């Protein structure tokens, strides 16, 4: 089924103006003080959220090596 009338370029562009990509959000890790992305593990300390720290020796995450 086709639309009754074609939508103008201006109307389409006004609608698409809110679809732009937002920048990457980052915060400071409370343990190491290094910047880290939201909901990601800090590579220095292994901190994710309060009560959760991850250690992966192979990737050198959360270790002091």
Query: How high is the mean pLDDT of the chain?
Result: 87
Tell me whether residue 15 is in a domain. Answer: no
SS (HEC) of 13-56: HHHHCCCCCCCCCEEECCCCCCEEECCCCCCCCCEEECCEECCE
Residues 22-32, mean pLDDT to the nearest whole number: 89
In a domain, 6, yes or no: no
In a domain, 3, yes or no: no
> Domain range spanning residue 36?
23-65
In a domain, 32, yes or no: yes
| Domain total in the chain | 1
Task: Flag whether 65 is in a domain.
Answer: yes
The average pLDDT across 1-18 equals: 89
Report yes or no on 13 lying in a domain: no
Q: Tens digits of per-residue pLDDT, 30-51? A: 988 999 998 899 888 888 888 8
Average pLDDT, integer, range 7-30: 90
* Percent over 90 (pLDDT), the chain: 31
pLDDT at 16: 92
């Amino acid at each position: 089924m086709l639309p009754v009338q074609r939508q103008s370029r201006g109307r389409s562009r006004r609608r698409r103006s809110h679809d732009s990509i937002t920048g990457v959000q980052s915060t400071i890790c409370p343990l190491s003080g290094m910047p880290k992305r939201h909901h990601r593990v800090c590579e220095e300390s292994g901190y994710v959220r309060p009560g959760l720290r991850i250690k992966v020796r192979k990737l050198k995450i959360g270790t002091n090596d």
